[in-house]
Each structure stands twice: as structure tokens, then as C-alpha cells.
Amino acid sequence: MDAIQGIDDDVTSQPARNWGSSLMPDGQAHMEPQYAEEGPGPGIFRAEPGDPLRRPEAQQQPTSRAGRWCSRRRGCVGLGALALLAGVSVGSWLLVLYLWPAASQPSPGNLQDEEMPLSCSEASGEEALLPSLPRTVSFRINPEGFLLAVQVRARPDWLLVCHEGWSSALGLRICQSLGHLRLTHYKGVNLSDIQLNSSQGFAQLSPGLGGFLEEVWQPRDSCASGQIVSLRCSECGTRPLASRIVGGQTVAPGRWPWQASVALGSRHTCGGSVLAPRWVMTAAHCMHSFRLSRLSSWRVYTGLVSHSAVRPHQGAVVERIIPHPLYSTQNHDYDVALLHLRTPLNFSDTVGAVCLPAEKQDFPRGSQCWVSGWGHTDPSHTHNSDTLQDTVVPLLGTRLCNSSCMYSGALTPRMLCAGYVDGRADACQGDSGGPLVCLDGGTWHLVGVVSWGRGCAEPNHPGVYAKVAEFLDWIHDTARECLRDVTHKSHLVGGRGAVFAGYQLALCSLINGKGRNGPSASWRAVRNQGTSQR
């Protein structure tokens, strides 16, 4: 597939500001001011076209030497005052000329690097990768028996976790740190029921050491309770059916089971990613035309390859739309939203969840990742693809993408870019909100959400994605708050339940903050002239 991207015609896409170009006002021809001066005669000073200021002839009157001196002195004083006034005027004009763009142009937000964007030549060389934060503790769940193991920095081996002091809250934190949205089950397993080699070590919870996951573990030779922790997290990041049509770019069923189509009725609007049976992630700008009265019109379709057989009643009804409260219509920042479904999806071989990035997970520059969607397959096309398409794109360094030959500093710390410098493949209109996924240790993680870019597959303008790792706390907090609301609502009946439902909708559905009104009119641009939402 040469290109995939998007936002379709149902949701108005608007031209984004081309951050790569300067918005300096046009230069104006400088005209010298005209001066009038009281002098010894009736003549005036005038700027003649093409001529410097000059003093025209004036009637001469006989004067004394002192009179001539006084006249000249008055003239000099007048000239000095006028020159000072002219200097102030010119200085003010220059000040407006150079400071007006900075005052009128919206700031693109906090950038990765506050320095001036690098030139194309400076960014074209080898880019040093920023080292990831060291992991002081790592977790894994063994496939046999789902036994939880921890690796602490003081010990290179994997330690089984003792059950004493364990809680579901701690289990949820560990599941989330591994990229899962939910904890599904945990229990204590008797050491006498499993076979372990004699060198196996253990880790004991020590709550007094601190509240962070990195600070609560102490290596032990045995467990006082005689039990270890078995932990199951929500399933994600696996593909039961991973086949693909040979030699083609059309995706086979089950290749990307987390791929969702976010639609108004049966009309595809944007892509999305399934995080859990009732949670889908998409781009905030996709929902900018949302109105409370139209909430029931939104549907999420999963397990699809072709849209030709879609019927409105087949889609999952969207119950809540929750854009990030800091979503900006000016510079595409915080371009993520969560959709809460009325009923849970039925997971199968063709429908499943993608994992979120694990804590401190590092996908270095050059990692080969995949983007998929039903967007345009050619920049010149004006309609979406009927069948799901995918393409591989490498992750690019932010330093390069923020250089003057690409996006001139427009990427914020909550964005990343992926694609090819020569523009051979990309996301395109209609792919907005869709997944950018990367494989790590046999598990697929949602690294980016299709957001914006300049054109489709244009050289030096790769796709820009919302960086999911920057939103993990918001995702978990939002899911927890809405779950608490649903639990509370389930205990209310009659009128009180209806009142609370209205409050719940106001809390979880309305767009708050900068993203309240959706993308500004400046986002509707011709794709080959400026950045555009996808």
C-alpha cells in the first residue's frame, strides 16, 4: 500500500497551519515622511519622487548676522525634533513588523527541544538516541500457571513473588505496567503444588520501603506463607489469525484484531484501537463534530475487512466520548480520545485488544511498526478504501522530524513521527485515530494514534502520531473513574438513576478544555499545501 490516512467527508477536516513556513507579514515599501518646517521664508521641505529631501528655493529676506544665526538655530532645532519623531516612527514600524508574527501566531506548545529547529543538513546525520530510563524492576507472567515473577536490579535472576501482603490494587498496577488495561484474576498458589529447582529465589513485599513498584521488593530465599502469586491480566497484543494475502496489501481477517472503524451510522469516519471489551481509543479531532444529540449515532465496528457489508445495527453503540481535556485545536496536541461502549465486544479470533506500551518500554528509532486503516490508498483519491489496508513504517527520531526540512519544530513531546524520508508509504485521509503498532517480545503494543501530516506520502513529510506512552496515566485514570461511575449508577434506581446518568454523561462525554469546539477552521487545507488531519 502506498498510502493510508485519514478523516472522511462526514467529519469536516480542515487545513492545519503549515508550521514549516513563516507567517511574517508581507514587506512594505518604506516611504519617507513629509515634513513641514517653519523657516526664514515661505518655502517647505518636501519629498520629491525619486529625490532625496531637498530645500526648495525661498524668498530671501535681509537679516542681520544674529538674525541669520537665530533662524538657522530654529531650523536646526526643528529638524532635530522632526528627525527624532521620524526615528521613533520608523522604530515602532520595525517593532511591529518583527514582533507581530510572534504575537499573532499560536504557539505550537512545549516542544521536545526549546532551541531553534535544526537545519536539514544538521539533522541528516546519525541521530543519537536518548537513553531510556533504567528499569529498577521488571515483571513478567509465566505462561504456565500465570506465575508472577519480578527482576530487581540487585538480582539478575527472576524471582517468584510471595503471596503475603498481596492485593488486587497491586495486581492492577502491575498489569497496567505491562501494557494491559485490566486485572482479571489473581490467587495464591501453594509451593508444594509446583515443581521448582533448588536455586529459585523469591521476592517479598515490603510496603514500608515506599509506595512505588520499584521500592516494595526484597529478595528472599523462601516465602513465609508457602504461597506465590498467580496473576492474570486482560488479554491483549496477540493475533490468533496472523495470515495475510500473499503478494497483496489487503488485510486478511484477524491480522489486526484490535482495528476498529469509528462511524456515524454505517459511514466510516475514523479508525480506532480496541483496548478492552468496552474501551476504544481514537483521535480527538475525529470527534470534533460531536453533539450530545448525536451520541447515539456513533458506532464502532470490529472484526471487519470490508465495509461493503456493514449494517448500522451491527456496530457497538458508543455510550461516552471522552477526548483528552488538553486537546488543542491549534497545534494538534493531545490528539487522543477514549470511546466507552454501551455493551462489551465479544472477543474472538478476529476481535481482540492491543496492549498499551509497557512502562519505560523503549522502541528505538528505526523500529519497524505497522499502521492500518480504511483511508485513501492514493493521495489523489477522494474516497476511502472499501477494504482494510496496512503498511510498515519505521519510527523516525523527533530531532529529524522537528528539523527545518520536515516540520520545523511543530512536534510536541506528545507526538512522534513514522514513515520514510522519500515518502514511499504513509497513512492518509480516513486513517485518523487508527493504530500504529510495534512488536516487542511477541506482543503488539499501541505506540501511536494516527493524527496529522502534510499531504500523504510526501517526501520529507512523514506521518505524525499521538504518542500513546505519554497518555498512560490519563487512560488508566479515565477508565477507573468511569468504572466507578458505572458501579455507583448500578445501585441507583428510578428517578435517582436517571439523574445520575445525566451527571455521568456530563462527566464522561462532554468535551472539556481546549478541545471543546473541535479543530479550528485552519485545519481544512488542501493536502499538498499544508498540514492536515488524517
- Beta strand extents in 277-354 (DSSP E only): 279-282, 298-302, 316-323, 337-341
Q: What share of the chain is helix, strand, coil (3-state, %, to 5)?
A: 25, 25, 50
The strand pair at 415-418 and 428-431 is best described as unpaired
Distance of alpha carbon 163 from alpha carbon 169, whole angstroms: 14
Q: List beta partners, residue 250.
A: 389
CA dihedral 230, 233, 236, 237 (to 10 degrees): -50
Identify the three-state secondary structure at position 478: helix
From the list 335, 390, 426, 485, the catalytic residue is: 335
Instruction: Dig out the grid coordinates for 145 from the structure.
Output: 500457571
Residue 335 annotated as catalytic: yes
Distances in Å between the Cα of 323 and the Cα atoms of 280, 326, 503 are 12, 8, 17
From the list 268, 285, 376, 445, the catalytic residue is: 285
Residue 432 annotated as catalytic: yes
- What own/partner pairs with CB < 8 Å and gap ≥ 24 does 304-307 have? 304/259, 304/261, 304/388, 305/250, 305/251, 305/252, 305/253, 305/387, 305/388, 306/386, 306/387, 306/388, 307/261, 307/266, 307/268, 307/374, 307/384, 307/386, 307/387
Distance of alpha carbon 59 from alpha carbon 43, whole angstroms: 8
From the list 177, 273, 372, 432, the catalytic residue is: 432
At position 332, the amino acid (one-letter code) is H
Residue 431 annotated as catalytic: no
The answer to whether 484 and 298 are in contact (CB under 8 A) is no
60: nearest Cα among 43, 35, 79: 43
Q: Mind spelling out the 3-state secondary structure of 8-35?
A: CCCCCCCECCCCCCCCCCCCCCCCCCCC
Active-site positions read: 285, 335, 432
